[in-house]
């Protein structure tokens, strides 16, 4: 599933192609995604100018003067901008939605597994039920080690499960949780309530570092979103522990171990993480 850096990479690639363009039509070929595509989506979007392409957590926010299209890519979704209203590349079986633009281009949503979704809201997007209960962005002032420390008191769940909760902080998926805990030197199975304030401060900084580096790496390898596949691609990542079972730890040389924590595979170094 695309993580926060991949979604941010997608946002950065699409923003200059969509912002300032007027929607001239919407074609919905398959409305049955994770949640049904709103039946009035075409009526809501047609004639509206896209004022901004934003992001909240793993959701893309396509803003217009009268409302916002909230889009989630799910596990296999992708977006691409095609010339000629998409007529030069006829839609395939998994091309579910086309948004036609005044410059003749077409924003096409493709999703083989149909786990993604499109929603429309005329209210501020932060009030939408998908976004209303989300925690802070990892780069926002509301996210800090002190906040994590206060929220974790009395929590028996593992610290890895804790920092992956979207109500605690958004965007820390499985890869980035493992990598952040390694940088902070914290064992992923340790109970969240048994981690001290100073270690949470190190963890908050590690989360920002890991995600920031991933976004920066994605920003240097952006694909052309008018290309045939439309995918931004997963940037080349330098991972210290994730997926490296049995390999030497880059810090101490010990062997990286794999363990299942909170129903997710987790990688860590038993020598560096306590």
Closest C-alpha to 60, from 113, 102, 112, 99: 99
For residues 126 and 205, give the distance between their C-alpha atoms in angstroms, rounded to a whole number: 26
Burial of 1 (0-12, 13-18, 19+ CB in 10 A): middle
The catalytic position among 114, 208, 255, 264 is 264
Half-sphere exposure of 96 (CA within 13 A, CB side): 23
Other Cβ atoms within 10 Å of 85 Cβ, number: 15
Q: Please give the angle made by the CA atoms of 231, 258 and 268, to the nearest 5 degrees.
A: 85
Which helix H or strand E contains 267, and what residues bound it?
Answer: strand 264-268
Q: Is 11 one of the annotated binding-site residues? A: no
Active site residue 2: yes
Phi, psi of 101 (to 5 degrees): -115, 155
160 is catalytic: no
Q: Where are the beta strands (DSSP E) in 94-225?
A: 95-101, 106-110, 117-121
Q: Let me know if 16 is a catalytic residue.
A: no
Catalytic residue among 58, 160, 199, 244: 58
* 187 annotated as ligand-binding: no
Dihedral, 236, 239, 245, 249 alpha carbons, nearest 10: 140
223 is in an annotated binding site: no
What amino acid positions are annotated as catalytic residues?
Answer: 2-3, 58, 264
Query: Binding site for DNA: which residues?
Result: 94, 113, 155
């Amino acid at each position: 599933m695309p993580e926060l850096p991949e979604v941010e990479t997608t946002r950065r690639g699409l923003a200059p192609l969509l912002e300032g363009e007027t929607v001239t039509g919407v074609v919905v070929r398959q409305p049955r995604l994770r949640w049904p595509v709103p039946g009035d989506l075409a009526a809501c979007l047609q004639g509206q100018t896209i004022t901004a392409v934003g992001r909240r957590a793993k959701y893309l926010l396509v803003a217009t003067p009268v409302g916002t299209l909230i889009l989630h890519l799910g596990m296999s979704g992708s977006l691409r901008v095609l010339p000629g209203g998409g007529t030069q590349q006829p839609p395939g079986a998994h091309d579910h939605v086309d948004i036609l633009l005044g410059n003749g281009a077409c924003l096409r949503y493709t999703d083989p597994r149909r786990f993604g979704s499109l929603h429309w809201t005329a209210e501020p997007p932060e009030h939408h039920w998908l976004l209303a209960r989300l925690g802070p962005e990892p780069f926002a002032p509301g996210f800090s080690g002190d906040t994590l420390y206060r929220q974790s008191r009395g929590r028996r769940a593992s610290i890895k499960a804790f920092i992956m909760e979207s109500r605690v902080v958004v965007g820390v998926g499985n890869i980035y949780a493992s990598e952040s805990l390694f940088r902070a030197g914290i064992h992923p199975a340790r109970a969240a309530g048994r981690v001290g304030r100073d270690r949470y401060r190190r963890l908050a900084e590690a989360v920002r570092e890991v995600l920031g580096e991933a976004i920066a790496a994605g920003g240097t390898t952006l694909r052309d979103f008018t290309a045939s596949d439309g995918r931004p691609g997963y940037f080349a990542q330098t991972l210290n522990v994730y997926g490296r079972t049995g390999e030497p730890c880059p810090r101490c040389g010990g062997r990286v171990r794999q363990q299942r924590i909170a129903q997710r595979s987790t990688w860590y170094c038993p020598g560096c993480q306590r």
